[in-house]
Structure 1
Amino acid sequence: MAFISVERAGGKNVLAFLDMIAFSEIGPQILAASDDGYNVLVGSTPSHIMTFKSYADHPNIDNRAMNSDAAGRYQIMHRWWPHYKALLRLPDFGPLSQDLYAIRQFEEQRAMPHILAGEFEKAVACCRNIWASLPGAGYGQHENRLERLANAFTQAGGVIA
């Protein structure tokens, strides 16, 4: 479950969309076996979960097998982190900072109006260039089916129009 409050996030659908992204990127087993995904490193599997220890800053740990340094609940790439950390005045890489980062991505991708309105498919389409696990992302990685993600969204309390 997202760390940010429903009020600060902007509504229940925003919280549910955050949870759906984490479900898509990390999966329910790893979410349950970690700090709800906030401390997970890219390349983790349910049988081999890799985590980082400090939320002081993005861990910037390169997984050569994955050719990525993504980390956290929303699998944030280090190359983008310094910009958003400064822009949003984030104090660390903790759960609230990660949530605020992801919400900023929703806003920049023009997904927020769709999320708030329950236009789930449109919101996912807006965000698929950010998160490789979303359907239609086209990064050559595993993409989840829209129906599976819609179920995760509604299970998290989201409402689809």
Structure 2
Amino acid sequence: MKDPRVRALLDVIAYAEGADYATMVKGEGSVPITDFARHPNVLVTLSKSLKSTAAGRYQFLYSTWQGLKMPDFSPISQDKAAVKLLKRRRMLKPLFAGDVEQAIRNGNREWASLPGSPYGQPTHQMAEMLQVYSKSLAKWSRR
């Protein structure tokens, strides 16, 4: 997780999802997260036909979070859990091979806001995601 490329890809996901560590999906019933002992598991109404338990910097659904078996919902646990999902979605191999576009595409079934996601929610353009990645990579590479 210390690799600047991984940190930059995590920043891309957080940017695309429009979230930070204390963000609950925005909708009816949404409140800022103040207790990081566990995933908040609040069912938020986004529309008549869409409800979600998404929470945190990477907008983890409660069911996904449960499967990741993290000790708490702290920022460190959120980052580690997101890296588990990067691995599960086969995003790291193309990332390390320099194919950032493919890495992002591989994650679009996990994160509905990434380009090419099949879920029918608004997505970001690949060019925008690559710009966010480049800027973030420069930041993390200086550290």
TM-score interval, normalised by the smaller of the two chains = 0.7 to 0.9
Residue 40 of structure 1: aligned partner = 23
Structure whose residues are more often strand by fraction: 2
Two-structure CA RMSD over aligned residues (Å)? 1.5
Residue 59 of structure 2: aligned partner = 75
Q: What residue identity is the alignment partner of 2:95?
A: I
Q: What residue identity is the alignment partner of 2:58?
A: Y
SS at match of 1:101: helix
* Equivalent residues of 1:11, 1:116 under 8 A apart: no
Residue 144 of structure 1: aligned partner = 124
Q: Which ranges of 4 or more aligned residues in structure 1 deviate by more than 3 Å?
A: none
SS at match of 1:134: coil
For residues 33 and 118 of structure 2, what CA distance do their matches in structure 1 show? 28
Q: What residue identity is the alignment partner of 1:12?
A: P
Identical positions, percent: 33
TM-score, length-scaled by structure 1: 0.78
CA deviation after TM superposition for structure 1 residue 50, in Å: 3.7
Tell me the number of residue pairs that the alignment of Structure 1 and Structure 2 aligns: 133
Gaps in structure 2 of 5+ consecutive residues: 139-143
- Establish whether residue 58 from structure 1 lines up as the match of residue 50 from structure 2: no
Q: What residue identity is the alignment partner of 2:111?
A: W
Q: Could you tell me which of 109, 134, 137 is aligned with 1:154?
A: 134
